């Protein structure tokens, strides 16, 4: 099995994708790319990153994308309540995809988020990964990390999952996300972030 030096890692909220992505990058000595995708797209468009982020996250998690920089506790991402926004700037969506492709073409990178597995499908040396966990597990982690009550944490997970579905449908015409969109699906229900990262690193290394 060939070595994969471009890893597109998609993640459900509360599954620990950011931490796992950083751990994979460290293990394989690859660059980590997440919020820089938005920043570069914004620079190319000459607008504030928040405007570009709206294209991905309306109506959902703009603050999480701009501020999630690996500081959250183990396998938990911070949650921000959906803001009320104007119509999404859909003109930025092709720009985000272009930056994702340019980042992947440079190689030696772990790209977290931005549905990168979809536009990069078929690219040589690509490993497409989904990091997930059962909704109740993810909600419990959010509640513990952010001090939410259980009901709000469950709603946060439902809102985020709904946003993912809307984004994939609007952006790429994907009616339903399924395992065939990925080469590897990793559940963090019982795995630690390091264990999950090691599984991904082994798969990327052809082990």
Q: Answer yes or no: is pLDDT of 73 > 90.
A: no
Q: Is the pTM of this model over 0.85?
A: no
Ranges of each domain in the chain: 6-204
* Tens of pLDDT, residues 168-181: 888 888 988 899 99
Q: Answer yes or no: is pLDDT of 60 > 50.
A: no
145 or 118: whose pLDDT is higher?
118
Q: Answer yes or no: is pLDDT of 151 > 70.
A: yes
**What percentage of the chain carries pLDDT values higher than 70?**
79
SS3 6: strand
- Nearest residue to 185 (alpha-carbon basis) of 8, 4, 38, 6: 8
| b/e code 144-173 from CB counts within 10 Å (16+ = b) | ebbebeeebbbbbbebbbebbeebbeebbe
> With 0-12 CB in 10 A as exposed, 13-18 as middle and 19+ as buried, what is 83?
middle
CATH of segment(s) 6-204: 3.40.50.300
Mean of pLDDT over the chain: 81
* Tens of pLDDT, residues 75-96: 445 444 444 334 344 567 777 8
Q: How far apart are CA 106 and CA 89, in angstroms?
A: 27
For residue 189, name the pLDDT band (cuts at 50, 70, 90): very high
């Amino acid at each position: 099995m060939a070595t994969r030096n471009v890893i597109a890692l998609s993640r459900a909220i509360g599954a620990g994708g950011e931490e796992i992505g950083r751990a994979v990058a460290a293990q394989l000595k690859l660059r980590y790319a997440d919020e820089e995708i938005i920043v570069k797209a914004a620079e190319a468009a000459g607008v504030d990153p928040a405007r570009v982020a709206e294209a991905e996250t309306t109506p959902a998690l703009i603050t999480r994308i701009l501020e999630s920089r690996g500081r959250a506790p183990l396998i938990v991402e911070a949650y921000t309540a959906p803001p009320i926004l104007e119509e999404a700037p859909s003109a930025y969506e092709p720009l985000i995809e272009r930056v994702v492709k340019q980042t992947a073409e440079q190689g030696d990178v772990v790209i977290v988020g931005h549905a990168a597995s979809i536009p990069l499908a078929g690219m040589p040396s690509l490993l497409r990964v989904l990091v997930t966990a059962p909704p109740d597990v993810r909600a419990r982690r959010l509640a513990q990390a952010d001090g939410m009550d259980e009901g709000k944490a469950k709603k946060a997970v439902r809102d985020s999952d709904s946003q993912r579905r809307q984004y994939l449908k609007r952006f790429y015409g994907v009616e339903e996300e399924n395992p065939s969109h990925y080469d590897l699906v990793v559940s963090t229900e019982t795995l630690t972030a390091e264990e999950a990262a090691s599984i991904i690193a082994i798969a990327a290394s052809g082990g």
